[in-house]
Amino acid sequence: MVAPSLGPGTSLAREMEEGNIYLADYGVLEGLPTALIDGRPTFVAAPLCLLHQRPDGELRPLAIQLSQQPGPDAPIFLPGDPPWVWALAKAWVRSAEFHVHEGLT
């Protein structure tokens, strides 16, 4: 699933063994009360973001799930998805990072 993003000559298991894989877990946001717009609650993602530190030191996302629980309503987004889909998934992670930084730290 993430092998194409890792590059040739490596694997997820190998990168994990070498300490190059990280998980950004925004589960602390799950279930937070949100604002109401037109009487309906807004959505705050509590994503999981799998990251890979490349040999040049750059940290890049490998996979994003916008909710904590896997299932048919929680797809996993990958860099190979359509560009706008991948960009939106990354935007939700950035939004979650903002919520944690501004609201909980």
Kindly list the domain boundaries of the chain, sorted by start residue.
3-104
**4 pLDDT exceeds 90?**
no
Q: How far apart (Å, rounded) are the C-alpha atoms in residues 33 and 45?
A: 12
**pLDDT above 90 covers what percent of the chain?**
75
The hierarchical CATH code for the domain 3-104 is 3.10.450.60
Residue 20 identity (one-letter amino acid): N
Q: Which of 41, 37, 35, 81 is nearest to 61 (CA)?
A: 81
Chain mean pLDDT for the chain: 93
Predicted TM-score (pTM) above 0.85:
yes
Buried b (16+ CB within 10 A) or exposed e, 36-55: eeeeeeeebbbbbbbbbeee
Q: Which of 30, 26, 24, 6 is nearest to 16 (CA)?
A: 6
